[in-house]
Amino acid sequence: MKAQLLTGPGPAASRPLTLVERSALRPRPGEIAIDVAACGVCRTDLQLVEGDLPAHRLPVVPGHQVVGRVAALGAAVERWQVGDRVGVAWLGGACGHCDLCRSGHENLCADAEFTGWDRDGGYATSMLARADFSFPIPDGFTDEEAAPLLCGGVIGYRSLRISGIEPGGRLGLYGFGASALLAIQVALHWGCEVYVATRSEVEQQRALEMGAVWAGAAHDRPPVDLDAAVTFAPVGSVVVAALSALRPGGTVAINAIHLDRIPEFDYDLLWRERSLRSVANFTRHDAEEFLALAVEIPVRTLSDLFPLAEANTALERLSEGGIGGAAVLSTAPDPPSA
Ligand SMILES: [Zn+2]
Ligand SMILES: [Zn+2]
């Protein structure tokens, strides 16, 4: 098998990943081996590769938006058969017995393991995954279309849920990158009025083309009070802007692993039962629910394909802002080069 290995972080331009040949993987009990077809390139991968997200172990194979086929079963695996199409996402495992796991909050488990961070991920032709943390990919999407849904798509969906937005409600999206591009499709499917605030004029235009009723700059106030908002931009002042656009009782869901300081704001903005909530990872249930909905809508993804051998190039483009939709690594013999 081939894998893109991170041995030490560095700027994407220094090409930190090395393509190596490794011996075939053998699944341990409870695991499956997967022949990887496609793996999405996420901003979190870039943060790991560049060292902004400290590595949990090195060397490591990044990649946590994996679509492939089951190639081998470890002992005690009954859920899967060789040849099944399978997806693996960021949550690669959780303990299953702590209070959080048992109450439906496995995304918050202190012993959670993450794909491409604690476990080797999908920047490879083959990988191992826990059988119980792998899920079926519904028909209706190609491998390359499905891959970007597995991180930004699912977490965008969870953010909508946490924001409490209801069908037909007025929703604000702050920032309009890969995850928001998928979230807006769900919100429009629910009949929501969507208001998009982003500093990029190109993204404002795209939001309007996709069906937003209003688009403005990052700190502009939408013309109506919002029932709920999701912030995607990793900027604290945007959270305050979103909060100040909420009706009483509304919620801002913060979809960001890292956020700079949230500036001081008047209690009046929070008063009258407004809420601020963060969104951390997602559960298997979120992933399965979102994938079923994504087929029904159907959610469209815009993928820029790169061969596995060009993972460094894909990360470099992402760091330069040169990816229009979602970057996806493909193990197909000759994927069209982006
Ligand atoms: Zn991700
Ligand atoms: Zn747990």
Convert the pLDDT of each residue in 216-230 to its tens digit: 999 999 999 999 999
Ligand 1 center from residue 102 Cα (angstroms): 24
Residue 233, pLDDT score: 87
pLDDT in tens, 150-200: 999 999 999 999 999 999 999 999 999 889 999 999 999 999 999 999 999
Ligand 2 center from residue 113 Cα (angstroms): 10
pLDDT band at 77 (very low <50, low <70, confident <90, very high): very high
Ligand 1 center from residue 183 Cα (angstroms): 15
pLDDT in tens, 6-46: 999 999 999 999 999 999 999 999 999 999 999 999 989 99
Residue 197, pLDDT score: 97
Closest CA to 131 of 189, 55, 77, 192: 77
Question: Strands 66-73, 85-88: parallel, antiparallel or unpaired by DSSP?
Answer: antiparallel
Ligand 1 center from residue 42 Cα (angstroms): 5
Residue 336, pLDDT score: 55
Q: Which whole-number Å values give the CA distances from 178 to 171, 175, 299, in the listed order?
A: 17, 10, 12
- Give the ligand at the shortest distance from the Cα of 101: 2
* pLDDT for residue 303 is more than 60: yes
Ligand 1 center from residue 236 Cα (angstroms): 20
Q: Which of 43-52, 134-143, 254-263 has the lowest mean pLDDT?
A: 254-263
Ligand 2 center from residue 62 Cα (angstroms): 23
CA-CA distance, 136 to 69, in Å (whole number)? 10
On the 0-12 / 13-18 / 19+ scale of CB atoms within 10 A, 103 is exposed
Residues of the chain with pLDDT > 70, as a percent, come to 98
- The pLDDT mean for the chain works out to 95
242 phi and psi, to 5 degrees? Answer: -65, -45
Task: Kindly tell me the sign of the dihedral angle through the C-alpha atoms of 212, 327, 43, 154.
Answer: positive
Cis amide bond preceding 59, omega within 30: yes
Task: Kindly tell me the sign of the dihedral angle through the C-alpha atoms of 31, 32, 36, 39.
Answer: negative
Residue 334, pLDDT score: 63
Residue 335, pLDDT score: 57
Ligand 2 center from residue 282 Cα (angstroms): 13
Listed in sequence order, the residues at least 6 apart from 67 whose beta carbon sits closer than 8 Å to its beta carbon are: 36, 37, 38, 39, 85, 86, 87, 137, 143, 144, 146, 147, 150
Residue 323, pLDDT score: 78
- 253 contacts 228 by C-beta, under 8 angstroms: yes
- Give the ligand at the shortest distance from the Cα of 154: 1
Ligand 2 center from residue 104 Cα (angstroms): 10
H-helix segments, the chain: 43-50, 99-102, 143-146, 152-163, 178-189, 201-210, 236-243, 284-296, 311-320
Q: SS3 of 183, please?
A: helix
Ligand 1 center from residue 151 Cα (angstroms): 5
Ligand 1 center from residue 64 Cα (angstroms): 6
* pLDDT for residue 114 is more than 60: yes
- 134 contacts 84 by C-beta, under 8 angstroms: no
- Give the ligand at the shortest distance from the Cα of 96: 2
Q: What mean pLDDT is predicted for residues 307-331?
A: 91
- What does 249-282 look like in DSSP terms, one character per residue? EEEEEE--SS--PPPP--GGGTTTT-EEEE--S-
Ligand 1 center from residue 90 Cα (angstroms): 6
Closest CA to 305 of 268, 275, 332, 278: 332
Residues of the chain with pLDDT > 90, as a percent, come to 91
CA-CA distance, 84 to 211, in Å (whole number)? 36
Closest CA to 306 of 46, 68, 39: 39
* pLDDT for residue 259 is more than 90: no
- Give the ligand at the shortest distance from the Cα of 115: 1
pLDDT in tens, 41-65: 998 999 999 998 999 999 999 999 9
52 phi and psi, to 5 degrees? Answer: -70, -30
pTM over cut 0.85: yes
Ligand 2 center from residue 133 Cα (angstroms): 13
Q: What mean pLDDT is predicted for residues 82-111?
A: 97
CA-CA distance, 115 to 106, in Å (whole number)? 15
* pLDDT for residue 1 is more than 90: yes
Those residues whose beta carbon sits under 5 angstroms from the ion ligand 1 are 42, 44, 151
Residue 306, pLDDT score: 96
Q: What mean pLDDT is predicted for residues 124-134?
A: 98
